[in-house]
């Protein structure tokens, strides 16, 4: 097992991560994790000032054999997600691997030579919070490409951190078309809540967008969970638009968005029913919003 240790600052709402060092020719890998974890059906803020380790496994065989570890520190409270950037060793470039992410809450924990029972016991004892790409009971391998962002992590624990949070989930992101080609993992996406009246008038080219709330995530395996920081939004009804690319919709009209899609490669995602009508969602804790179909030029 090779251990690489760096101290990194987590970043949210589109910020960049701390670096793993190295020159211009070094290959890099980035991990994006949500700012929340699950204890049963409840959601809590990820702990700050804690060590996080990304264990790279060649396969799910037990006891676990680890061929690399990336180590960072969660140092800053963020809104939506943390990012960590590391130097990617040459022997891992373009290799398919499983990734376990471990946040140490108490004693130091090493996944090497452990089995699933020991891992679950450490979670239940409140020693660690653990995460994987996708559902925790799944084994979803990823390819470690130079410059890639690995996302889609979901974390579980046994003990809550402070007050449980209201969370909504955004799900299923496709390019427009019957083939439903998924949006690649690692793309930053922002979701904007509009009142149904504003959405209707914007879509008709009458008024500009008036954003009530926004949420930011990274595409990957599974849903994108986002905390509802303004709890007064719970119970209210909104339409959502999703944006991938450099475009801030507040105060913009439909023509402005169309221009950005044509000239800047911006992608617009909408959640619609089978007849093409936009779906309005009444926000509630645990609500899943989607699917989103993206279009561009």
| Helix H or strand E encompassing 200 | helix 196-203
DSSP code at position 94: T
Tokens of 230: 């303004």
Note down pLDDT in tens along the chain; length 297 residues.
433 333 332 323 333 333 344 444 789 999 999 999 999 999 999 999 999 999 999 999 999 999 999 999 998 766 688 999 999 999 999 999 999 999 999 888 999 999 999 999 999 999 999 999 988 888 999 999 999 999 999 999 999 999 999 999 999 898 988 788 889 889 999 999 999 999 999 999 999 999 999 999 999 877 899 999 999 999 999 999 999 999 999 999 999 999 999 999 999 999 999 898 999 999 999 999 999 999 987
In total, the chain counts a number of residues equal to 297
The HSE-up count of residue 156 (CA atoms within 13 Å, CB side) is 16
CB 98 within 8 A of CB 33: no
From 156, 130, 5, select the one nearest 64 (Cα to Cα): 130
Tell me the pTM. Answer: 0.83
| Helix H or strand E encompassing 295 | strand 292-295
CB 165 within 8 A of CB 45: yes
* Torsion angles phi and psi, residue 20, rounded to 5: -95, 10
What distances in angstroms separate CA 108 from CA 6, 103, 113, 130, 155, one per listed residue? 16, 10, 15, 13, 18
Alpha-carbon gap, residue 205 to 96, rounded angstroms: 47
CB 83 within 8 A of CB 15: yes
Tokens of 109: 């924990």
| Helix H or strand E encompassing 261 | helix 254-263
Tens digits of per-residue pLDDT, 169-192? Answer: 999 898 988 788 889 889 999 999
What distances in angstroms separate CA 176 from CA 36, 195, 221, 294, 295, one per listed residue? 30, 24, 19, 5, 5
From 204, 201, 193, select the one nearest 289 (Cα to Cα): 193
Alpha-carbon gap, residue 33 to 144, rounded angstroms: 16
In the chain, the domains with their CATH numbers are: 3-156 (2.60.40), 167-295 (2.60.40)
Alpha helix segments (H runs only) across 32-165: 116-124
Alpha-carbon gap, residue 69 to 221, rounded angstroms: 21
């Amino acid at each position: 097992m090779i251990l690489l240790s760096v101290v990194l600052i987590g970043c949210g709402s589109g910020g960049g991560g701390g670096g793993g060092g190295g020159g211009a020719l070094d290959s890099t890998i980035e991990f994006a994790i949500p700012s929340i974890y699950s204890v049963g059906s409840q959601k809590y803020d990820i702990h700050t000032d804690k060590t996080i380790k990304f264990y790279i496994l060649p396969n799910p065989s037990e006891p676990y054999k680890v061929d690399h570890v990336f180590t960072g520190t969660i140092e800053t409270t963020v809104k939506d997600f943390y990012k960590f950037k590391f130097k990617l060793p040459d022997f891992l470039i373009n290799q398919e691997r499983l990734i376990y992410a471990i946040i140490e809450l108490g004693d130091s924990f090493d996944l090497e030579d452990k089995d699933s029972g020991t891992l679950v016991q450490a979670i239940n004892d409140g020693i660690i919070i653990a995460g994987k790409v996708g559902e925790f009971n799944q084994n979803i391998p990823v390819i470690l490409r130079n410059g890639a962002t690995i996302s889609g992590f979901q974390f579980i624990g046994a003990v809550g951190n402070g007050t449980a949070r209201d969370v909504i989930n955004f799900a299923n992101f496709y390019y427009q078309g019957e083939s439903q080609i998924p949006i690649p993992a690692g793309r930053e996406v922002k979701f904007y809540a509009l009142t149904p009246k504003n959405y209707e008038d914007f879509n008709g080219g009458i008024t500009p967008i008036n954003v009530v709330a926004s949420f930011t995530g990274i595409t990957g395996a599974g849903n994108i969970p986002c905390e509802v920081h303004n709890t007064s939004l719970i119970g209210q009804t909104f339409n959502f638009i999703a944006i991938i690319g450099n475009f801030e919709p507040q105060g913009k009209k439909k023509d402005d968005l169309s221009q950005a899609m044509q000239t800047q490669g911006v992608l617009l995602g909408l959640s619609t029913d089978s007849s093409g009508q936009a779906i309005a969602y009444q926000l509630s804790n645990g609500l899943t919003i989607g699917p989103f179909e993206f279009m561009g030029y």
